[in-house]
Amino acid sequence: MKHLRIVLTLLMTILIATMAVATFVEQRHGASYAATHVYHTSWFFALWALMALGGMAAIWRMRLWRRLGVMLLHAALLLILAGAAASWLTSSEGTLHLRKGQPADCYTIKDSQLSAPLPFQQMTLQGFSVVCYPGTEAPQDFQSQVTYITADRQHHEATISMNHILEVEGYRFYQTSFDPDRQGSVLTVNYDPWGTPISYGGYVLLALSMVWLLIDRRETFGRLLRSPLLRHGATLMLLIVCSMSVHARSVPTITAERANRLAEMPVVYNDRIAPLNTLARDFLLKLYGRTSYKGLTAEQVLYGWMQRPETWSDEPMLLVKDSKLRQQLGIDGKYARLADLFDNTGQYRLQQLIACGGETKAVRDLDEKVGIILMLTEGELLRPASGVAINQHRLVAEICYNRIPFVSLLFITNLTLGILAFCLLLIPAFRFRHCLWQTVCLLGGLSWLVLVAGYALRWYISGRIPLGNGFETMLFLALALQTVGVMFHRRLSIIVPFALLLSGFTLLIAHLSEMNPQITSLMPVLQSPLLTIHVSLVMMAYALLAFTMMSGIVALIAHHRGHTGHEELLTVLSQLMLYPAVFLLAGGIFLGAVWANVSWGKYWSWDPKEVWALITLLVYAVPLHRTTFFAPHRPVAYHLYMLIAFFSVLMTYFGVNYFLGGMHSYA
In the chain, % of residues over pLDDT 90:
21
Band of pLDDT at residue 263, cut at 50, 70 and 90: confident
pLDDT at residue 612 is higher than 90? yes
Average pLDDT over residues 624-643: 86
Band of pLDDT at residue 364, cut at 50, 70 and 90: confident
pLDDT of residue 270: 73
Q: Quick check: helix, strand or coil at residue 357?
A: coil
Q: Provide CB contacts within 8 A for 125, sequence distance 6+.
A: 98, 99, 100, 101, 102, 144, 145, 146, 184, 185
C-alpha span between 396 and 619 (Å, rounded): 47
C-alpha span between 413 and 128 (Å, rounded): 52
Band of pLDDT at residue 20, cut at 50, 70 and 90: very high
* Number of CB atoms found within 10 A of residue 324's CB: 11
Q: What DSSP line would sit under 80-114, residue for residue? A: HHHHHHHHHHH-EEEEEEEEBTB-B-EEEETTSS-
Q: Are strands 266-269 and 122-132 parallel, antiparallel or unpaired?
A: unpaired
Tell me 491's DSSP state.
Answer: T
Q: What DSSP line would sit under 499-537, residue for residue? A: HHHHHHHHHHHHHHSS---S--PPPGGG--HHHHHHHHH
For residue 158, what is the enclosing H or E element?
strand 155-161
C-alpha span between 141 and 353 (Å, rounded): 42
Average pLDDT over residues 621-640: 86
Is residue 614 within 8 Å of residue 524, measured between CB atoms?
A: no
Band of pLDDT at residue 243, cut at 50, 70 and 90: very low
Beta bridge partners of 191: 92, 171
Higher-confidence position of 282 and 205: 205
pLDDT of residue 230: 59
pLDDT (tens digit per residue) in 267-285? 887 777 888 888 888 888 8
Sheet holding 184-191, edge to edge: 115-117, 106-109, 92-99, 184-191, 171-178, 166-168
Band of pLDDT at residue 442, cut at 50, 70 and 90: very high
pLDDT at residue 32 is higher than 80? yes
Band of pLDDT at residue 38, cut at 50, 70 and 90: very high
C-alpha span between 75 and 66 (Å, rounded): 13
pLDDT (tens digit per residue) in 149-177? 887 888 899 999 877 888 888 888 988 88
Is residue 399 within 8 Å of residue 263, measured between CB atoms?
A: yes
CA atoms in the 13 A half-sphere facing the CB of 95 = 13
Average pLDDT over residues 40-45: 92
Is residue 370 within 8 Å of residue 354, measured between CB atoms?
A: no
C-alpha span between 19 and 326 (Å, rounded): 43
Beta bridge partners of 274: 267
Q: Provide CB contacts within 8 A for 586, sequence distance 6+.
A: 206, 210, 617
Is residue 567 within 8 Å of residue 239, measured between CB atoms?
A: no
pLDDT (tens digit per residue) in 400-431? 888 888 888 898 898 889 888 877 776 655 66
Extents of the domains making up the chain: 2-67, 92-190, 219-239+523-667, 256-392, 404-468+481-518
Question: Whose CA is closest to 559, among 638, 461, 651, 644?
Answer: 638
pLDDT at residue 665 is higher than 50? no
Average pLDDT over residues 324-340: 84
pLDDT of residue 22: 93
Is residue 373 within 8 Å of residue 338, measured between CB atoms?
A: yes
Length of the chain, please?
667
C-alpha span between 234 and 216 (Å, rounded): 27
C-alpha span between 309 and 298 (Å, rounded): 15
Q: Are strands 139-149 and 155-161 parallel, antiparallel or unpaired?
A: antiparallel
Note the Cα 520 to chain centre separation in Å: 15
pLDDT of residue 428: 56
Higher-confidence position of 525 and 408: 408
Q: Provide CB contacts within 8 A for 419, sequence distance 6+.
A: 497, 501
Tell me 186's DSSP state.
Answer: E
pLDDT at residue 232 is higher than 60? no
For residue 177, what is the enclosing H or E element?
strand 171-178
Is residue 264 within 8 Å of residue 395, measured between CB atoms?
A: yes
The dihedral of CA 172, 178, 182, 184: what is its sign? Answer: negative
pLDDT of residue 248: 42
C-alpha span between 414 and 502 (Å, rounded): 9
Q: Quick check: helix, strand or coil at residue 466?
A: coil
pLDDT of residue 234: 41
Measured between its terminal Cα atoms, the distance across the chain in Å is: 46
C-alpha span between 449 and 506 (Å, rounded): 17
Average pLDDT over residues 304-327: 85
Q: What values do phi and psi take at 644, rounded to 5?
A: -70, -35
pLDDT at residue 143 is higher than 80? yes
pLDDT of residue 44: 93
pLDDT of residue 250: 57
Average pLDDT over residues 490-518: 73
pLDDT of residue 76: 93
Is residue 576 within 8 Å of residue 225, measured between CB atoms?
A: yes
Average pLDDT, the chain: 82
pLDDT at residue 187 is higher than 60? yes
Strands, DSSP E only, in 240-309? 266-269, 272-275
pLDDT at residue 502 is higher than 70? yes
Tell me 133's DSSP state.
Answer: P
Q: Quick check: helix, strand or coil at residue 340?
A: helix
Higher-confidence position of 460 and 340: 460
pLDDT at residue 524 is higher than 60? no
Higher-confidence position of 96 and 332: 96
pLDDT of residue 112: 76
Note the Cα 203 to chain centre separation in Å: 22
Q: Quick check: helix, strand or coil at residue 30?
A: coil
pLDDT (tens digit per residue) in 544-555? 898 888 888 888
C-alpha span between 664 and 593 (Å, rounded): 13
For residue 166, what is the enclosing H or E element?
strand 166-168
pLDDT (tens digit per residue) in 557-589? 878 777 666 677 788 888 888 988 999 899 999
Does the predicted model carry a pTM greater than 0.75?
Answer: no
pLDDT of residue 525: 56
Longest dimension (CA), the chain: 88
Q: Are strands 318-319 and 335-336 parallel, antiparallel or unpaired?
A: antiparallel
C-alpha span between 653 and 630 (Å, rounded): 27
- Compute, in degrees rounded to 10, the torsion defined by CA atoms 22, 24, 29, 32: 40
pLDDT of residue 246: 40
Sheet holding 122-132, edge to edge: 122-132, 139-149, 155-161
Burial group, residue 646, by CB count within 10 angstroms (0-12, 13-18, 19+)? buried
Band of pLDDT at residue 539, cut at 50, 70 and 90: confident
C-alpha span between 587 and 206 (Å, rounded): 8
C-alpha span between 501 and 521 (Å, rounded): 32
pLDDT (tens digit per residue) in 60-91? 888 878 888 889 999 999 999 999 999 888 88
Q: What DSSP line would sit under 388-400, residue for residue? A: S---HHHHHHHHH
Task: Name which of 184-188, 398-402, 453-457, 488-492 the model is least confident about.
Answer: 488-492
